[in-house]
Chain A
Amino acid sequence: MQWSEFFTSSVGKKFVMGLTGLFLISFLVIHVGINATIFADLVDPDENGAMFNKAAHFMGSTVLIRILEIGLFAGIILHIVQGYMLEAKNRSARSVGYAVNLGNRGSKWYSRAMGLLGTIILLFLIIHMAHFWVKARITHTLAPVTYNGVEMHDMFSEMKAVFSEGWVIAVYLLGCISLGYHLAHGFQSAFRTVGVHNNKYNSLLVNLGYGFSILVSLLFALMPVAMYFGWVG
């Protein structure tokens, strides 16, 4: 069997979805972990985002992490392109629909809405990147701050500025909710897709997936909310 046959088969395409999905999940763990350092402010009011700024600086400063960043972009693009291709193929497999649908009697609504949830995440990502990534990596238009003689971007102040507007909070909450539901199905689905077929582990992964989705989307959602209401910063 040729590689091309493997990766163009329905199971091969899903394998790519599963792998890239799991890779994106591992990225989320790091992303939410680093951003959660803004809550150091709750413990020490003089902190003023120092821990967060240093962590964000570190994430842009080593070659290894910049290479991983390229991998992350490739992974996201692959996931999105493959996702839309699968969604289109799956929709085209039934030209005449039903008068009465099975609906929620057979599956969870969010498991059937992965394309829609992914699209909301994608739109959110574009806004999110314009808010932070473009300013930090492309235009370098962030104010500087110096710790122990090292100058770096004051990402923390930028967050406070961005999260001072109501519509931004609404967009971020929508993004977090969509991500939560995307992962509530995607987390366990990805393991099945890459071949985990032991019921003991599959049921564990379902629950782990719910826990992960709730925890990650809640933590992410708390960041703009906490800054908007001035609990942090």
Chain B
Amino acid sequence: MEHYTMNLTLKVWRQKNSQEKGRFETYQVKNISSEMSFLEMFDVLNEELIREGKEPIAFDHDCREGICGMCSMYINGKPHGPWHANTTCQLHMRAYKDGDTIVVEPWRANAFPVVKDLVVDRSSFDRIIQAGGYISVNTGNAVDANAIPIEKDKADNAFAAAACIGCGACVAACKNSSAMLFLSAKVSHLALLPQGGPERKGRVLNMVAQMDREGFGACTNTGACEAVCPKEISITNIARLNAEYIGAGLVVE
């Protein structure tokens, strides 16, 4: 693909801390290379802000290779930007052309309070995992990985669900700020495998209870989550979670 440079207008949400009300700030960025990543473009802007003696824009990132789920940015109305099945760090500036205006906002959900600028606190996800996203393992020698035969379909579906990186884009995109795609990926991943068997019922009940306590909304199956998920987690997992929850909730004493 041919290399080119571009000048852009950025409208970025700035907010000093969780208490203060934020506002949009407009920046002109010049000579951005089409081969830069979206976050590199922010690095360039931040260096310029630092040179000018201004506060750089706070944003989350870690791996910059699409596996950690930190880079939460709501770009022109879409989590992780315009590309399908992609994270912000893997979005490249060739997605834009000279003269474009890009609006960048933090994830919006009361369960993800803004810490600063584009950084939100997603520890509600950690607490949901702590409520049941684990399995019991006996101590002793590690068991041979092939010792338990697993149906191919189940192994594939569990693997696909395990691809969730906990980025929160599903919550950000959902009109109800529902965490059901995330939760359903975590529950499905373990419920489909024999190793997840012992805690199967308690896990789904406890994780849903924690999700409700964190203040996420309920799912209305609109499908916005699936459309923006960088790991293409299927919405069918939500229906599976419902079956797991109803099955457990109706029998557990």
Contact = CB atoms under 8 A, between A and B. Distances in A.
A198 B212 CA distance: 26
A74 to B, nearest CB: 20
Interface stretch (B31-39, B105-113, B136-144): B105-113
Q: How large is the interface on A (under 10, 10 to 19, 20 to 34, 35 or more residues)?
A: 35 or more
Contacts of A89: 217-218
B236 A9 contact: no
A188 B211 CA distance: 24
Contacts of A96: 108
B225 to A, nearest CB: 8
The secondary-structure label for the interface of chain A is helix
A45 B209 CA distance: 61
Interface in A67-91: 86, 89-91
Nearest to A13: B218
Contact of B250 (A6, A86, A189, A202): A6
Given A98-B74, A191-B239, A192-B242, 15 more contacts: A10-B208, A10-B217, A14-B218, A98-B105, A102-B228, A106-B173, A106-B222, A106-B228, A107-B223, A111-B221, A111-B223, A114-B220, A185-B222, A192-B235, A197-B237
B119 interface: no
A93 interface: yes
Contacts of A101: 77
Contact of B175 (A6, A13, A112, A197): A112
Contacts of A100: 74, 76-77, 103, 105
Interface of B: 11, 24, 74, 76-79, 103, 105, 108-111, 173, 175-178, 205, 208-209, 211-212, 215-225, 227-228, 234-243, 245-250, 252-253
Contacts of B11: 99
A107 B224 contact: yes
B221 A189 contact: yes
B75 to A, nearest CB: 9
Nearest to B228: A106
Nearest to B77: A100
Contacts of A130: none
B108 A97 contact: yes
A197 B243 contact: yes
